[in-house]
Chains A and B, each alone.
Chain A
Amino acid sequence: MLSRDDDILKIAEDWKKAGHGVALATVVETWGSAPRPTGSHLVINDEGTFLGSVSGGCVEGAVVTEALDVISSGQPKMLEFGVADETAWNVGLSCGGTIRVFVEKVGS
């Protein structure tokens, strides 16, 4: 990964400086055909605005919801998305892979 897309980390820093609560989500493990490689980032602020991508659009909505929790609690979370169960079509990866996403708060 030659990092073309990670100006989002600069935006995370700017959001934080502007007084926003900010969370950083990172793809930490993938199995099967995953749309985005490990290390891909999504940044989320307390208004629910997000930038970047952890799955090419499949699970970002769910990650944003969890990220808002992480912003208020300060506790990091590990999320897993796949097609292993029937709910998968709601927040799953249609490509058949599984990804694990680490969500952490950008602290003060």
Chain B
Amino acid sequence: MKAETLAQLNAERAARRPALVVTDMASGEQRLVKAKDIAADELSGELDRHLRMGKSGMVEVNGRKLFITVHAPTAKLVMIGAVHISQALAPMARALDYDVTVVDPRTAFASPERFPDIPLIAEWPDVALPQLNVDPYTAFVALTHDPKIDDPALTHALERKCFYIGALGSRKTHAKRIERLKQQGVSEPALARIHAPIGLAIGAVSPAEIAVAIMAEITATLRMPKDAAAAKVKEPA
């Protein structure tokens, strides 16, 4: 690897932008592909698939063996609301290798006793979120049921282009939320990105089951081709 390629790769990684390295196994020839250049690349299909799966691997193209090394940032999960579902969701997300943070201005909820070992920020979203570097490798869930807390948080998540944004609440609650956010100037395509009711339709009842539904939906969004993930989560219960 050229020193220059390594420096560029490390710069992408430090900025939490995905990048792939393609190495020709016969010649040792090598190139770096940044996330923004994948679509126009001759290997776009293979690069997209490997990045989505977060899996490095060998591909054969025109008789050439090429090794694709995937460098994907560690995914983050930001939870708005230190509620019962969050208590089940936080350890689950950790087990799936997410960096987890819980935000809730209500100190009675955001207490270390309720969330042992989980980073907690007992602040309003406008104070808590800027320091969290919410980015496209972040999954974002709003679980408080309180528009004063959830709405500004969701607006921030949409601006930061989180790969997954979900909000707790029934269809009726969500319809009201859409109305409020529209009045604040959030565009329709942006609003359509919010998964609500949150989670895959698996008939979840308990907080832990709802956490499973949420984590499954996040995983589908991260791993499946965009169209397939959309079809999956739109399926009726």
Contacts and interface: CB of A to CB of B under 8 A. Distances in A.
Nearest to B50: A39
Nearest to B6: A13
Contacts of A16: 3, 6
Q: Which of B13, B54, B55, B56 has the largest count of A CB atoms less than 10 A from its CB?
A: B56
A107 interface: yes
Nearest to A12: B6
Given A37-B55, A38-B56, A106-B3, A1 B10 contact: no
A28 interface: yes
A28 B74 contact: no
A104 B1 contact: yes
Contact of A2 (B6, B13, B69, B74): B74
A51 interface: no
Contacts of A105: 1
Given A1-B56, A38-B55, A6 B7 contact: no
Nearest to B96: A2
A9 interface: yes
Interface string A64-108: 000000000000101000000000000000000000001011111
Interface string B43-55: 0000000000011
Contacts of B6: 9, 12-13, 16, 24, 106
Contacts of A6: 13, 71
Nearest to A17: B3
B56 A37 contact: yes
Given A3-B74, A9-B13, A16-B3, A39 B28 contact: no
Nearest to A29: B58
B72 interface: yes
Nearest to B137: A2
A37 B57 CA distance: 9
A102 B54 contact: no
Interface of A: 1-4, 6, 9-10, 12-13, 16, 24, 26, 28-29, 37-39, 76, 78, 102, 104-108
Interface of B: 1-3, 6-7, 9-10, 13-14, 23, 25, 28, 30, 54-58, 67, 69-75, 97
Given A2-B72, A26-B23, A104-B30, 8 more contacts: A1-B70, A3-B70, A10-B13, A12-B6, A13-B7, A26-B56, A26-B67, A106-B1
